[in-house]
Structure 1
Amino acid sequence: MPRDDDTLFAALIARDPSYEGFAYVGVKTTGIFCRLTCPARKPKRTNVIFFSCRDAAQEAGFRPCLRCKPLDIKPPASEAFHTLKERIKTEPDRRWSAQDLKTLGYDPSTVRRAFQREYGVTFVQYARSQRLGLAVDTLQHGGSVTDAQLDAGYESGSGFREAINRLIGDAPVRTAAHQILTAQWLDTPIGAMLAVVDDAGIHLLEFAERKALPKEIKRLRERVGPIRFGHHPMIDRLAGELEQYFSGQLTAFAIPVVQKGTAFEAGVWDALRQIPAGQTRSYGALAAAMDRPNAVRAVARANGANQVAIIVPCHRVIGADGSMTGYGGKIWRKQWLLNHEQRMALSQSQT
């Protein structure tokens, strides 16, 4: 990724998130340093200096910005975003409306954009998905369809059944006969991720913008079972390990991965997990390590079929010429992850 000053200034003006974590800007006239994504008014080109890390900015005498908080691990989201997520947790069965948001002092259109930016759904859709998760719990514990329907805020039985079908792929009255997977959104420094788990481990972990995500969810329902939004101990464990990873304290995940695939795909995914953090492999090298030197294309396809990002590190596979090849979670995230892991590996080698 280019880091010359002209490119970095263009990224600053565009608030480009691809430099998040390894490029900062110092403003000479204020003595403050910021993330390139800082929402503050942009300074003149002659008044800025760029740094590759936070320590360098502080050593040069710059103070951290109070708006973008560059010393925090995660970029700050809007106050409304965090507050409303907490309100949904504490009031999971509440049916939210635009008037509710106005009463709390929030602009509904601003809230809608914030949730769409992070999760790809509106605030109302996000809240409803959480209510549907509670409704499925009601059904699984012997409650009636009518009780579950009212808990989820649906006056129409047909509307409730349609929503449940879209969410978990089965009619409500039959859910007790199936293994139910649990889904939840997790926030990371480089964007929201959808996690799907059960008691055995992780089935899916993907960034919200991944174009193949709807197909992956459909395939997961077909291979394993229906999905509902809710809370699960495995989600808590995953969130904890991801927090350690992004804070630079964890390079190898211990949480079990149970994504379903062919025997060959499973072999590729296992080979991916053997690549140490801070290192990369080409598709050819990965095929050779599996004693399948002629299966480079098949290895590439299996790499792309991986549904557990970061933990099964398909981002560590690059082109034979060292180029950043395709990555469903966006190329800039692949570069970010590789830079992050290289920093972790260097830090560990120096201790």
Structure 2
Amino acid sequence: MRDLTDDMLYRALLARDPAYEGRALVGVTSTGIFCRLTCPARKPLARNCRWFADAASARDAGFRPCLRCRPEQVALPPVVADLLAALRADPERRWSEGDLKARGLDPSTVRRQFRQHMGRSFLQMARDARLRQGMGRIAMGDDVIEAQLDAGFDSASGFRAAFRRLFGHAPQDLRGGGDLAAEWIETPLGGMIAIVDDSSLHLLEFVDRKALPQGLARLSRMVGGRIGLGRRPMTDRVEASLGDFFAGRNGRLDLPVTLHGTEFQRAVWTALRDIAPGATCSYAGLAAAIGRPSAVRAVASANANNRLALVIPCHRVIGSDGRLAGYAGGLWRKERLISLEASYRDPGANRVDAGLLPL
């Protein structure tokens, strides 16, 4: 908001200007409520307005979310929502910048809006969707070349390169059965890779996390390389639990897990699971909770090495000054997760509208 003056924001508030969606929120001192600038409620006097960059800042200042405009929900721009709907309808389509231009869209604008709201470009998401299709075909026993063609990759090398970036090794290395099974699960915040055995969850990561290949390789070494593609009953349980979480029905992903880490890391991860949905904790507070108040940096490192996103809720750890600290899944995801979980600490707050966060 550095480039926005109070006068500019107030004019936008009076005009209900949609161009300011996602850029600023207004807190009304006379009511104690904060709103979108497009809120249909009667407009306050300028002297009663305070301006905030996000919902977390407004809440920290003591304001409550408006029940009319629901400022904690993430409204996607029409371009983003329309393209996501097209991607869901035809996940195997090979999209190009030419396709975007044919729809009357500027590729650079699409790229910028997707990176802002989804953390990656539309073309990257389309490529991930096709890779997911290929994973499914390999899991069903198809040859790699058949999976490559069905997923819309022109060349085997392109398919293998995309697969290797995700898994850290070639697709044929994951063919067939194994003690652990890897599956792609789609969520409102992007695809995740879940790796399970018959009784517990071993890994749950967003597919665009840069450290995912290393995490998969490390897990593969720890279990002797016994990871295959496919679903288990535990996969279904993980997917159902994620569905409840994002729908606002249950803030705790209470799943059995196998923790692959040192004794110290396991202590940190266990303490993270004790943070209630809707609550947050500082790194210093977490260090104190495990009886190691001087180990703040080590706690931060354990957070960064968490391989069970959401189930071990490292997104609930913030800076001691109340600011959102780094999150391996992307700060944009952390903001949305904390906004989502506000409904768990405040029964009067709004649940996430599944229509605003596309599955």
Query: What interval of TM-score do these two structures reach, taking the shorter chain for normalisation?
Result: 0.5 to 0.7
CA distance in 2: counterparts of 1:336 and 1:205, whole angstroms = 16
Secondary structure (helix, strand or coil) at the match of 1:214 reads coil
CA distance in 1: counterparts of 2:277 and 2:334, whole angstroms = 13
Aligned residues of 2:166 and 2:212 also touching (Cα < 8 A): no
Name the counterpart of 1:271.
271
Call closer, same or farther: CA 1:193–1:264 in 2, change over 3 Å. Answer: farther
CA distance in 2: counterparts of 1:242 and 1:8, whole angstroms = 38
Name the counterpart of 1:134.
133
Aligned residues of 2:193 and 2:206 also touching (Cα < 8 A): no
Aligned residues of 1:183 and 1:227 also touching (Cα < 8 A): no
Q: Does 1:218 align with 2:221?
A: no
Call closer, same or farther: CA 1:164–1:77 in 2, change over 3 Å. Answer: same
User: What letter is aligned with 1:219?
Assistant: G
Q: What TM-score results when the alignment is normalised by the length of structure 1? A: 0.65
Call closer, same or farther: CA 1:300–1:152 in 2, change over 3 Å. Answer: closer
Contiguous gaps of at least 5 residues in structure 2 = 14-18, 29-33, 51-57, 349-359
- 5 Å-filtered alignment, 1:1-351, equals 23-24=25-26, 34-35=35-36, 46=46, 49-50=49-50, 52-55=63-66, 70-71=69-70, 74-177=73-176, 179=180, 181-184=182-185, 186-187=187-188, 192=189, 195-199=192-196, 200-201=200-201, 203-205=203-205, 213-224=209-220, 233=236, 236-245=239-248, 250-258=250-258, 260-277=260-277, 283=283, 286-292=286-292, 295-317=295-317, 324=323, 326-328=325-327, 344-345=344-345, 347=347
> In terms of mean alpha carbon deviation, does 335-344 or 173-182 score higher?
335-344
Aligned residues of 1:195 and 1:202 also touching (Cα < 8 A): no
Q: What TM-score results when the alignment is normalised by the length of structure 2? A: 0.64
Aligned residues of 2:111 and 2:121 also touching (Cα < 8 A): yes
| Shift of residue 269, structure 1, vs aligned partner | 0.6
| Shift of residue 121, structure 1, vs aligned partner | 3.4
CA distance in 1: counterparts of 2:187 and 2:342, whole angstroms = 24
| Shift of residue 125, structure 1, vs aligned partner | 2.5
Contiguous gaps of at least 5 residues in structure 1 = 27-32, 59-63, 65-69
Secondary structure (helix, strand or coil) at the match of 1:268 reads helix
Aligned residues of 1:194 and 1:206 also touching (Cα < 8 A): yes
CA distance in 2: counterparts of 1:269 and 1:343, whole angstroms = 24
CA distance in 1: counterparts of 2:88 and 2:143, whole angstroms = 24
Aligned residues of 1:194 and 1:204 also touching (Cα < 8 A): no
> In terms of mean alpha carbon deviation, does 149-158 or 256-265 score higher?
256-265
Secondary structure (helix, strand or coil) at the match of 2:210 reads helix
Aligned residues: 306
Call closer, same or farther: CA 1:229–1:44 in 2, change over 3 Å. Answer: farther
| Shift of residue 102, structure 1, vs aligned partner | 4.1
> In terms of mean alpha carbon deviation, does 288-297 or 70-79 score higher?
288-297
User: What letter is aligned with 1:53?
Assistant: R
Alignment root-mean-square deviation, CA: 4.7
CA distance in 2: counterparts of 1:34 and 1:283, whole angstroms = 31
Aligned residues of 1:221 and 1:227 also touching (Cα < 8 A): no
Aligned residues of 1:136 and 1:175 also touching (Cα < 8 A): no
Among the aligned pairs, what percent are the same residue?
32
Secondary structure (helix, strand or coil) at the match of 1:254 reads coil
Greater RCO (CA < 8 Å, at least 6 residues apart): 2
| Shift of residue 148, structure 1, vs aligned partner | 1.6
Call closer, same or farther: CA 1:113–1:201 in 2, change over 3 Å. Answer: same
CA distance in 1: counterparts of 2:141 and 2:337, whole angstroms = 44
CA distance in 1: counterparts of 2:324 and 2:71, whole angstroms = 30
| Shift of residue 166, structure 1, vs aligned partner | 2.0
Aligned residues of 2:174 and 2:228 also touching (Cα < 8 A): no
Name the counterpart of 2:352.
none
CA distance in 2: counterparts of 1:166 and 1:347, whole angstroms = 42
Call closer, same or farther: CA 1:219–1:101 in 2, change over 3 Å. Answer: same
| Shift of residue 274, structure 1, vs aligned partner | 1.8
Aligned residues of 1:24 and 1:53 also touching (Cα < 8 A): no
Call closer, same or farther: CA 1:289–1:7 in 2, change over 3 Å. Answer: farther
Aligned residues of 1:251 and 1:277 also touching (Cα < 8 A): yes
